[in-house]
Structure 1
């Protein structure tokens, strides 16, 4: 199979989905209106609620939801063959991920920027909200702890990425000042920012930063983890326009440049996919493709974490309601393109099938390193960029996206902790909530020793928890649309599919944890499964009640929940 064919078909499907299907969703299902005043305007506080240019907000949203997951998931899942991964990424992006992200963003900004957890309380009850928050808290804890470990590992294994990784923060600070304080031309600022960022990659490739074996008694991995959490805590407290927005925006641009380089290499070399379409010779111990494929590839097909970002930060920065189509749906398309590029790079970036099988010797042996190695080889062959610099570009892409997801995750976790505090009758300041988040995440990260590997302890639960979270978000959307008497099938069909696959995968994992006598993961998996099932049952009951209630409507002047329709009096 020629990889160029996969690239053309995949890109065509995703662009078509944005141009056609997202337009249908915007007109018929979500019924967007520019006359509606978004929370960014009605609740503007200059910190979390800030009206934002849709391209800048897209950059924040896209890089926050992308992270390393659309690289790691597909790079692992191709062990079952490239065809199942390709189908799930393309169909999932068009009909599930785009709709999910778009819908969560729309619903939140119609409710004063409230999180999807808060909306669950409004539409299915306080008990459902409390259970929902348990799932969200654990999911965010997995993300911030595990991504800190992933980033630190990449900074140690690819020291050429250190300078561009930390230099990107300085670039972002200047970009934020240029856009918001000095009101400079956005295209000019964007071009300069991207050029400087890629110049830092060239410098980093020339001057790798290798830490000594011990720094203040810490290993290099442990040192980077602590620095990352300090940075994440500070970034989560700063106004979004100072660092979070510009950092994510400039990272989004550099990713598209990086994707352009990667897809340009596909175009020039048109490499043959050496991996099998369906791999019948998987290594011993590889789990069944059904249902594990659908939780291994989360970001890039659908991800519950996206709903948390959409309703946690992006909805508070939306300038116009109609921007939600570009920010939400096209953000999912961007991630789908990254996942598609990963599939092609990891299945055609090797000379022979034997070379590919030498990397994929066991489940979870692919990952970021396979993407960097395979993609670096293709870029070198197609565009003549030195292999070292090619690897630096791809490694920096992975690090920067993982870092943006991590610092957004810390901010979102801070919101969740404050919300839990309110339920318990305790009002927590942003600083106190952030300290709690950082301390808990650090405690988990170093719970298995001084190398910080504890951050990966509960990561095996991420796939199922993440997809269950997506199903719960879709269930809330179904309740809202039912009350509004809007079409629900675009949400209900994906909801049933994702829910079945996620519950199936969670049950399979329970059996695996039981056999391995891993009581921590077994207990957490059971808790998450019970919470998810309970919330789902309450959501379907709420849908049934909504069908029998008076229909509700939203007018363009509403700033919160829909008002009931008042029947016209008979004359």
Structure 2
């Protein structure tokens, strides 16, 4: 089968979701009102609450949520076969992710731009806020630890990407300073992209590698430590100095990457060599149900998106009706990235025959980011004629920049939660930014090395646990939206059905991984997994109590 069929059918499905389903949900269920005064106007302060053009806001939202996860997850999950991976990405985007992201924006906007944790307190109850904060913190902890490992592995396997990855930070810092001095944004971004791709070209000829052993640690371990030192510094800098200009650069980089990959498919028409359904899996391979639905988290549905939607995007919503454009279309963009990832790791660009493909994907977890970079680079070479080394550096840099930006934001958000705990429980030590950042980074390093050993090389064992926790958070967000709808007397089945499916799959996956971690005597992950499972049950019970109470009061008043 030609990969172009996957691309065309996948895009048609997502477009149907955008033009038909999202329009129905926006107008009939959420009932988005363009005359509603959004928090961006009501609480406008020129810093956090700023009315923003929907196209610009979509760019911010998309680059914030589109980290490395929609590459990592699909590149692993294709092991079960490309058909289930494609189906979950397409239908997950249409009926789960888009509704989740648009709903989180709408719900937060209706509550003065509050985060999902604070919103849970308003909608469900005070106890739910603390439970939400625990899950959000754990999601951020895991995503930071995983992406630290992903970047380190990319630096080891693709040393050509090291120079452009760090050069992008220098460019972003310069752009931040120029923008602060009122230089025009668009010319700065154009110049920044030109410099970035010049550094990509240079990186192809100047690979940078750490010694195999330094200070008694492997190169992989040293990269992880260096990355978290950077993340700690970056999270303490003002957002205008580094985070915002990096968002602009990454947004441009992502659009260029998607253009090259999708264009290559249409120009070269590559065949698929991966099995539609893999019947030659290793004996220790876990069941596709429920593990598929947590392996592909971002790219189908992601609780992390709810953090972004309610954390920053809702505060910049110019009109409530823009929530559809920003939220649903942002999910479609990430679905497109996940879809092209599946194509890149399933076709002749990666393996010329089914036998060669099975050599690359001999066990679950094989391939992953390295398969995406290799397959994507060969695909670009076949479609556009660009050198493979240059194409590999482009894609490796793209992965690193996405993961790095997520680490920047993730550590910053972890710091916010720790400082908030300091305020709630009146612990002065936790209120300071430096101490909170050190705790955030320290816990990330503890997880990266605690799960993967002193080298950090096995840190990807965290991924299924991250997927389960992330999906549980997504179901909790959908639950809050559902409770809001029920209280407003509107149909809630369009959010309750996805919520029920996601929580069942995520909970089952969490139980399966709990057993595996226990047998492997990895008690750190056993503890984290158990905490997430218990918290999710408590939130569900709390929500059911609120819904039951509301229904009783409604009947009594009739």
- TM-score under structure 2 normalisation? 0.92
Name the structure 1 match of 2:511: 507
Q: Does 1:430 align with 2:450?
A: no
CA distances 1:55-107 after superposition (whole Å, capped 9, x unpaired): 44333322322222111111111111111111100010011101101111222
Aligned length: 552
Extract unaligned runs of 5+ from structure 2.
none
Further displaced range: 520-529 or 468-477: 520-529
Deviation of 1:14 (Å): 1.5
- Which stretch of structure 1 is more off in the superposition, 533-542 or 33-42? 33-42
Q: 1:403 maps to what in 2?
A: 404
Map of 1:340-489 to 2, 5 A cutoff? 340-348=339-347, 349=349, 350-426=351-427, 428-447=431-450, 450-453=454-457, 456=460, 458-489=462-493
Deviation at residue 250 of structure 1 after TM alignment: 2.0
Cross-structure match for 1:245? 244
After TM superposition, the structure 1 = structure 2 runs for residues 39-54 of structure 1, keeping only pairs within 5 Å, are 39-44=39-44, 47-54=47-54
- The separation in 1 between residues aligned to 2:461 and 2:381, in whole angstroms, is 36
Larger mean CA deviation between 235-244 and 76-85 belongs to: 235-244
Match of 2:104 in 1: 104
Asked if structure 2 preserves the Cα contact closer than 8 Å seen for 1:76 and 1:367, the reply is yes
Q: Distance in 1 between matches of 2:196 and 2:181?
A: 21
Quote the offset at 1:214 in angstroms. 4.9
1:322 CA drift (Å) = 3.1
Moved more, 204-213 or 531-540: 204-213
Aligned to 2:495: 491
Deviates more, 1:234-243 or 1:143-152: 234-243
Residues 14-33 of structure 1: matches in 2 within 5 Å? 14-33=14-33
Say if 1:260 and 1:508 are closer, same or farther in 2 by CA, change over 3 A: same
- Compute the displacement of 1:420 (Å): 2.2
Say whether the 8 Å CA contact 2:295–2:463 is kept in structure 1: no
SS for the counterpart of 1:300 is: coil
Q: What is the distance in 2 between the residues matched to 1:514 and 1:219? A: 27
How far, CA to CA, are the matches of 1:86 and 1:521 in structure 2?
30
State whether residues 59 and 245 of structure 1, in contact with CA within 8 Å, keep that contact through their aligned partners in structure 2: no
Q: CA deviation at 1:273?
A: 0.7
Q: Distance in 2 between matches of 1:50 and 1:393?
A: 34
Is the contact between residue 72 and residue 367 of structure 1 (CA under 8 Å) also seen in structure 2? yes
Q: Which residue of structure 2 aligns with residue 562 of structure 1?
A: none
CA deviation string 1:356-406 (max 9, x = no partner): 000011111121011111111111122111111111111111111111111
Which structure 1 residue ranges, 5 or more long, are not aligned?
A: 552-565
Cα separation, 2, equivalents of 1:490 and 1:183: 46
> Hey, what does 1:558 align to over in structure 2?
none
Q: What is the RMSD computed on CA atoms of the aligned residues?
A: 2.5
Which residue number in structure 1 is paired with residue 161 of structure 2? 161
Larger mean Cα displacement after TM superposition, 51-60 or 201-210: 51-60
Separation in structure 1 between the aligned mates of residue 503 and residue 196 of structure 2, nearest angstrom: 41
Change (3 A) 1:356 1:216: same
Question: 1:198 is matched with which residue?
Answer: 197
Contact 2:304 2:474 in 1 (8 A): yes
Give the CA deviation at 1:216: 5.9
1:106/1:418 CA distance change after superposition, 3 Å: farther
Contact 1:57 / 1:245 at 8 angstroms: preserved in 2?
no
- C-alpha offsets along residues 402-421 of structure 1, whole Å, 9 cap, x if unaligned? 11111111121122212322
Report if the CA contact (8 A) 2:295-2:464 is conserved.
Answer: no
Matches of 1:2 and 1:469 in 2, distance apart?
A: 36
Name the CA distance, whole Å, in 2 between partners of 1:81 and 1:499.
23
2:107·2:481 contact (CA, 8 Å) conserved in 1? yes
Q: How does 1:137-156 map to 2 (within 5 A)?
A: 137-156=137-156
Q: TM-score normalised to the size of structure 1? A: 0.90
- How is 1:62-81 mapped onto 2 (pairs within 5 angstroms)? 62-81=62-81
SS at match of 1:425: coil
Cα distance in 1 between the residues matched to 2:11 and 2:171: 30
1:264 aligns with 2:249: no
Contact 1:258–1:394 under 8 Å retained in 2: yes
Q: Is the 8 A contact 1:307 1:473 kept in 2?
A: yes
Aligned in 2, Cα 1:457/1:416: closer, same or farther, shift over 3 Å? farther
Q: Which residue of 2 aligns with 1:556?
A: none
SS of the residue corresponding to residue 394 of structure 1 reads: helix
1:55-134 to structure 2, matched below 5 A, reads 55-134=55-134
* Closer/same/farther in 2, CA of residues 415 and 30 from structure 1, 3 Å limit: farther
The 3 A distance-change label for structure 1 pair 548 and 243 is farther
Q: Residues 252-274 of structure 1, C-alpha deviation per residue, up to 9 Å, x if partnerless?
A: 22111111101111111111111
Q: Distance in 2 between matches of 1:508 and 1:185?
A: 49
> Residue 65 and residue 417 in structure 1: after superposition, are their counterparts in 2 closer, same or farther (change >3 A)?
same
Q: SS of the residue aligned with 1:206?
A: coil
Alpha-carbon distance in structure 2 between the residues aligned to 1:301 and 1:494: 11
Partner of 2:282: 283
1:12 maps to which residue?
Answer: 12
> Are the structure 2 counterparts of residues 172 and 38 from structure 1 closer, same or farther at C-alpha, using a change threshold of 3 Å?
farther
Distance in 2 (alpha carbons) for counterparts of 1:432 and 1:318? 33
Instruction: State the Cα distance separating 1:457 from its structure 2 match.
Output: 6.1
